[in-house]
Structure 1
Amino acid sequence: MHATPALIEDAPDEVATDTSGELAALVGRNLRRLRTRRGHSLERLAKLSGVSRAMLSQIETGKSAPTINLLWKVATALGVPFATLMNGQEARGTTVMLRDKAKILTSSDGRFSSRALFPFSGERKVEFYELRLGPNHREDADPHAPGTLENLVVAQGTIEIIAGRDAPQVLGEGDAIAFEADVPHSYRNLRASEAVIYLVMTYVETISG
């Protein structure tokens, strides 16, 4: 049995201001829909996720866009991949995702960012991301859903990957790795300059928009 997470208060560095407002509004709508579908009150979801009720309310009303850290906590508590919280209406045919309109999530300290390279709509079992790590930064990730696989390639820099109890793996530019991501894992930038990774996540179950 897991202990109830400590609540994260609504500190300024735990939310990311969304200048366009579009991402915040989209996340807010999806959070409210998923929460009510599961029959959770804000208080109940706060206890499950460790995120304060006040902050959850801010996110649902579109006043704040969560950092990637908070989005992971909320998504895990709801039992969905975090991308599900950013799903939009399903688009048909070719989809172009312009760089200046990308959905980008960042850590509270700004040293880690994730840019989605796929449309948040429809049903899928695969997601594609560009990850950026600041100089000498280590980003820890909680276990994903059972059976989730991560396959990544280093585009810039030198990265150390640790997955569960496996030995650390050091990857240079052009090196790739695949590992089971349903265990705690981490990405560490071993250089004093920004690192860039391209990540494909594969799920066992289909993710619905």
Structure 2
Amino acid sequence: METPDQPTRTRHRRSPGARDADALAALVSERLQGLIGRENRSLKRLTELTGLDEDELRRIESGSEAPTIDRLWRIANALGVPFGSLVASKQRQGVRIVRRSALRSISSSEGRFVSRPLFAFDGQRPVEFYEITIGPGHLEHAEAHAPGTKENVIVAKGAVEIVVGREPAVQLDEGDAADFLADVPHSYRNLGVVPAIIYLVMSYETGFGACA
């Protein structure tokens, strides 16, 4: 006797990117709530300082939305804390190993600018280390960071053009490095037709964000 075909149940697994976004949203939510409480600021006030929509900030604070790099920078600047204080754990002991599979990516410009915090601000040293991938031909603008903030950059793959404030554009090829004060608007452009990879060390003035 033939039995009717049973409907096939399909399990929908979330992609690694979606899981990363969920983990990032939860971490930023936890850190943001703590910082807002510490600074005794309301979401309405943070809206005024960042220029972001209050509903969007509410979603970020609740963990229902993972913010982009641009949004994180606006929030960090408004609160007067390092970028990494919003995305890094405060746990610290012994030798810290960070496996590639454990790194969370943060993106902007619809994925054409992707940052992976290798070692973000941890409250003990005012330095952050990032791997950044820039899509072919993409130009990414960055707002001025806190006074005295410095960026050290080395190009690991491709060719990148950097413009800092009113300074002339400079081209960095593979293996080239540069450092500059990042407390003025600046930008990165991938000059090639394949993704470019740079490593960026960001250092803050001593004492900046010490309580973050």
- Give the aligned residue type for 1:19: R
| CA distance in structure 1 between the partners assigned to 2:120 and 2:44 by the alignment | 31
Query: 2:46 touches 2:78 (CA, 8 Å); kept in 1?
Result: yes
* CA displacement, residues 34-74 of structure 1 (integer Å, 9 cap, x when unaligned): 11222211111111111111111111111111011111111
Q: Specify every segment of 5 or more residues in structure 2 that has no aligned partner in the other structure, as ranges.
A: 1-16
Shift of 1:33: 1.3
- Give the aligned residue type for 2:53: S
Could you tell me which residue of structure 1 aligns to residue 56 of structure 2?
55
Tell me whether 1:39 sits opposite 2:40 in the alignment. Answer: yes
- Matched residues, percent identical? 48
Higher relative strand content? 1
Query: 1:91 touches 1:122 (CA, 8 Å); kept in 2?
Result: no
- Taking the TM superposition and a 5 Å limit, the aligned residue runs for 1:88-107 are 88-107=89-108
**What is the DSSP-based 3-state SS (H/G/I as helix, E as strand, rest coil) of the residue aligned with 2:84?**
helix
Could you tell me which residue of structure 1 aligns to residue 19 of structure 2?
19
Shift of 1:104: 1.3
**What is the DSSP-based 3-state SS (H/G/I as helix, E as strand, rest coil) of the residue aligned with 2:126?**
strand
Query: 1:18 touches 1:64 (CA, 8 Å); kept in 2?
Result: no
Shift of 1:180: 0.8
- Give the aligned residue type for 1:183: V
Shift of 1:162: 0.5
| CA distance in structure 2 between the partners assigned to 1:119 and 1:176 by the alignment | 20
- Give the aligned residue type for 2:125: R
Q: CA RMSD in A?
A: 1.5
Query: 2:107 touches 2:113 (CA, 8 Å); kept in 1?
Result: yes
- Taking the TM superposition and a 5 Å limit, the aligned residue runs for 1:157-196 are 157-196=158-197
Tell me whether 1:127 sits opposite 2:128 in the alignment. Answer: yes
| CA distance in structure 2 between the partners assigned to 1:103 and 1:24 by the alignment | 11
Could you tell me which residue of structure 1 aligns to residue 74 of structure 2?
73
Shift of 1:87: 3.0
- Taking the TM superposition and a 5 Å limit, the aligned residue runs for 1:2-17 are none
Shift of 1:143: 0.7
Query: 2:148 touches 2:204 (CA, 8 Å); kept in 1?
Result: yes
| CA distance in structure 2 between the partners assigned to 1:119 and 1:160 by the alignment | 24
- Give the aligned residue type for 2:122: S
| CA distance in structure 2 between the partners assigned to 1:198 and 1:205 by the alignment | 22
Query: 2:82 touches 2:121 (CA, 8 Å); kept in 1?
Result: no
* CA displacement, residues 105-128 of structure 1 (integer Å, 9 cap, x when unaligned): 100411001111115534111111
Query: 1:18 touches 1:24 (CA, 8 Å); kept in 2?
Result: no
Query: 2:83 touches 2:121 (CA, 8 Å); kept in 1?
Result: no
**What is the DSSP-based 3-state SS (H/G/I as helix, E as strand, rest coil) of the residue aligned with 1:177?**
strand
Query: 1:102 touches 1:115 (CA, 8 Å); kept in 2?
Result: yes
Larger Rg: 2
